[in-house]
Chain A
């Protein structure tokens, strides 16, 4: 089946991102297609490459980047939510006159339309939040 996932919370603060990761891993293992993972609200914080979590625990951002690369999953960070919270790609940093960008590999910044489109195109949309 073609699945889409919406993640409403940032990494570590809530279990949402972890639950979603485990769910997506299980889904692709079963041969389903995870068409898009959309990050909204604090979920955009999953997309920063500047996090340095303790070495003896999981690195949620890196796990997303790896999963996306292995299984061609479209990781989309909502631009409006990202602007509020300071997640930027190179273009956004230039556009907004900020001193740097921080988006992690495999993630892209785009509009809420990508979430609606995911809802339209996927056979199931699963929401992880708080």
Chain B
């Protein structure tokens, strides 16, 4: 009988979380981040994609005092500590919004639409919010 530390791990699937919406206008950005933080405990292969207005979720310098909502953007910095390091932004989405990776609150890898299409094809499970 296997010792506890020798037991086989469960399946490891490639999970992709796709974010396409701006923060604050709707709750999807905040609550999808909460999913990702929980997902970290399951030792799966996690990628986070920010495209369309989702790129705004990572914008530096969010000051939400005036709208009376909690600024949750610092939480993206905690992802690294949870071993969630594969964060991607889509080049076309960034460019059409006049953003660069320097505007982002965490390090991200910029992928073109075609590169992102290939990455999506490689996944096992894709969640959208």
Does A touch B (CB under 8 Å) in the complex? yes
Q: Find out whether the CB atom of B41 lies under 8 angstroms from the CB atom of A120.
A: no
For B41, list chain A residues within 8 Å (CB).
Answer: 113
For A81, list chain B residues within 8 Å (CB).
Answer: 31
Once the chains are docked, how many angstroms separate the CA of A41 from the CA of B35? 11
Q: Interface of chain B, helix or strand or loop or mixed?
A: mixed
CB distance from B58 to the nearest CB of A (A): 20
**Which of B27, B31, B42 meets A116, CB within 8 Å?**
B42
Q: Find out whether the CB atom of B127 lies under 8 angstroms from the CB atom of A125.
A: yes
Q: What class of interface size applies to chain A in its complex with B?
A: 10 to 19
For B42, list chain A residues within 8 Å (CB).
Answer: 113, 116-117, 120
Report B10-45 CB contacts with A as 1/0, cut-off 8 Å: 110101000000000001100100110011011010
Q: With A111-B38, A113-B41, A113-B42 as given contacts, are A119 and B31 in contact (CB-CB < 8 Å)?
A: no
Q: Find out whether the CB atom of A80 lies under 8 angstroms from the CB atom of B34.
A: yes
Count of A-B residue pairs with CB < 8 Å:
47
Whether B119 is near chain A, meaning CB under 8 Å from some CB there, is no
Whether B78 is near chain A, meaning CB under 8 Å from some CB there, is no
CB distance from A122 to the nearest CB of B (A): 8
**Which of A6, A8, A116 meets B39, CB within 8 Å?**
A116
Residue total for B at the interface (Cβ-Cβ under 8 A): 19
Q: Find out whether the CB atom of A120 lies under 8 angstroms from the CB atom of B27.
A: no
Once the chains are docked, how many angstroms separate the CA of A8 from the CA of B34? 14
For B11, B13, B41, B127, the residue with the greatest tally of chain A CB atoms inside 10 Å of its CB is B127
> Could you give 12 example pairs across A and B, Cβ below 8 Å?
A8-B28, A80-B34, A112-B35, A112-B38, A113-B38, A113-B42, A116-B15, A116-B38, A119-B15, A120-B10, A120-B44, A127-B127
Going nearest first, the 8 A-B pairs with the smallest beta carbon separation are A112-B38, A119-B125, A116-B42, A116-B39, A125-B125, A127-B128, A112-B35, A41-B31
Knowing that A41-B129, A111-B38, A113-B38 are A-B contacts, what are 12 other residue pairs whose CB atoms are under 8 Å apart, sorted by A's residue number?
A8-B129, A40-B35, A80-B31, A80-B34, A113-B41, A117-B42, A119-B15, A120-B11, A120-B13, A125-B127, A127-B127, A127-B128
